[in-house]
Structure 1
Amino acid sequence: MASRSSSAAAIGRAARSSGLPRRNRRRVRRLCNMAGPDLMKTKLYSVSPPVKAKATNASLSGPTRYSPGMSTSRGRASRHKKTFPVPPAPREFQQARSRATYERILAAALELYAEQGFHATQTPDIAERAGMSVGGLYRYFRDKHQIFRELVHRGLEQNRQAQDRMLAAAEAGLVAGETDLHRAIEGVVDWTWKALHPTPPDLLRTLAAMAYLDPAFAELTEQYDRYERKALSRLLAKLTSRKRVPSPLAAARLLDLVVPNVGIWTALHPDEARGVKEATVEMIYRYLADPPE
């Protein structure tokens, strides 16, 4: 009895000094008491303060590492709810050679992702294509997830800036009387397809697959899509009547669904691109324009 009493006291002291929440301390004491005093004689039982693990995105930032103080369900929630801000400022290098190496790694990774897909590409493959050692690559990037994230951020940000310029030019033309609805639609379709067609077809397939398979990637692209839809809806609000288009934002969403997907299809089937493009512009125009009197 004395042995059990002293064991219980030791368990209580360990639980109190562990830093665990009160409800977890009671659970530790209850489990250890059920196991009996022999448990205290082994080195299997130890209570240590929980270590706070920084939740990282499993898909774009590498695997999530769990610690004793982090629940699995919370880790999953962190992976799926994490949001990605506007890309940070570009990395600065003291030497031009370092900047060139950084860009060479990104170019090599982009080629490999296009050729064999993201999941089949490993960090050593990227290092070999870039003409450097794996250790040298790790001086610039943590892993292939970080490289992919940098490429996606860079591409989306470039597209956002290009779209801003395109829409600003369309609005300026509208003010000057040089732009009507049909020309604006042609401009949107042209800009979208010019952004897509230089992309290698295999990379387009990889990006399309990632949007369905990777929640973090889908969330990242959705942030930019949402920004672009709002910008496009402002232009549509000036070009269409509310009787014909009650919700410019809904119309912008429709264009966002139709134009890029048709653009990807024509990038994979370039022989039919011209006819499909003209049909797409006409279809959208008939949807947005007021019917003839």
Structure 2
Amino acid sequence: MTSADRRLTPRRRPQQVRAALTRERILTAATHVFAEYGYAAGTTNRIAERARMSIGSLYQYFPNKDAILAELLVRHIDRGAWAGADELDATPGSLKEVVRSLVRDAIDHHHDDPQLLRIMIEEAPVSSELIEAIDRHGKARVGQVREVLARHPDVGVQDLDMAAELVVGTVEMNTHKLMAAAQPIQVERLETELVAMISRYLQGDQ
């Protein structure tokens, strides 16, 4: 482990329920503090105060606010599977709604707090854990999307592996960028244009 990784590694991985709940309190408090004060002014003292604990207790779990933000970003990226993908309608003519489900899943995950999302993108330090989370999430999401494309009769592209990579990359990159923009965007416009663009691509030469 490099010195940078040690700086970003939580000091205590809780084994007991009480310790796990305390760690969750710190992370929840940090999301509110970073959103309210920004990253520069979102100090560990403020996080500890919001979590209703001493600064010493906070430092038992995280060595600094960089480690807290890194953990929040890992959780954000490693968010789990595309909800409801296994139950999607795969009948002819339904491709657009399948794509809409994927886009909405990404939008819903980024919709709650654009300011915090912007802080995570701009300020979070890179660690080996973050890189592993990005790789793990990317592979899982691409594999899931490929499975959906493979069983849908409206998909006309020939290279499903590359298509899944492109679709996931397009959705994730644009959702991150536009949902974190300083100027608010109309979510409906983002959804409509992403769905139209990806659907046309996936239909291929049909």
Give the percent of matched residue pairs that are identical in Structure 1 and Structure 2.
Answer: 28
Equivalent residue of 1:62, what SS?
Answer: helix
Aligned to 2:100: 186
Amino acid at match of 1:192: A
Give the alignment of 1:234-249 within 5 angstroms: 234-239=147-152, 244-249=156-161
Q: Counterpart amino acid of 1:140?
A: Y
Supply the distance in 2 between the matched residues of 1:154 and 1:210 (Cα, whole angstroms).
Answer: 15
Matches for 1:1-293 after TM superposition, within 5 Å: 55-56=1-2, 58=4, 61-62=6-7, 91-93=14-16, 95=18, 98-118=19-39, 121-157=42-78, 159-161=79-81, 163=82, 165-170=83-88, 173-174=89-90, 177=91, 180-198=94-112, 200-210=113-123, 214=126, 216=128, 217-239=130-152, 244-264=156-176, 265-266=178-179, 268=181, 270-292=184-206
The verdict on how the C-alpha distance between 1:219 and 1:209 changes in structure 2, with shifts beyond 3 A counting, is farther
Contact kept in structure 2, 1:210 and 1:218, CA below 8 Å: no
Give the Cα separation in 2 of the matches to 1:94 and 1:227: 29
Answer whether contact 2:115 2:180 (CA < 8 A) is retained: no
What TM-score, normalized by structure 1, do the two folds share?
A: 0.57
- Judged with a 3 Å threshold, the aligned counterparts in structure 2 of structure 1 residues 266 and 100 are, in CA distance, closer, same or farther, namely closer
**Paired amino acid for 2:75:** R
In the TM superposition, residue 94 of structure 1 has moved relative to its aligned partner by 5.3
Q: Is the 8 A contact 2:35 2:116 kept in 1?
A: yes
Separation (CA, whole Å) in 2 of partners of 1:63 and 1:186: 37
Which amino acid in structure 2 is aligned with residue 166 of structure 1? G
Who wins on radius of gyration, i.e. which is larger? 1
- Hey, what's the Cα distance between the residues in 1 that align with 2:56 and 2:143? 44
Q: Is the 8 A contact 1:156 1:221 kept in 2?
A: yes
Give the number of the structure with larger relative contact order, counting CA–CA contacts within 8 Å between residues 6 or more apart.
Answer: 2
**RMSD of Structure 2 on Structure 1 (CA):** 3.2
Runs (5+) with no aligned partner, structure 1:
1-54, 65-89
Summarize the Cα distance change of 1:178–1:290 in structure 2 as closer, same or farther, 3 Å threshold: closer
Cα drift, residue 290 of structure 1: 4.2
Q: Which runs of 5+ in 2 are unaligned?
A: none
Q: What is the distance in 2 between the residues matched to 1:134 and 1:179?
A: 57
| Structure-2 change in CA distance of 1:141 and 1:99 (3 Å) | same
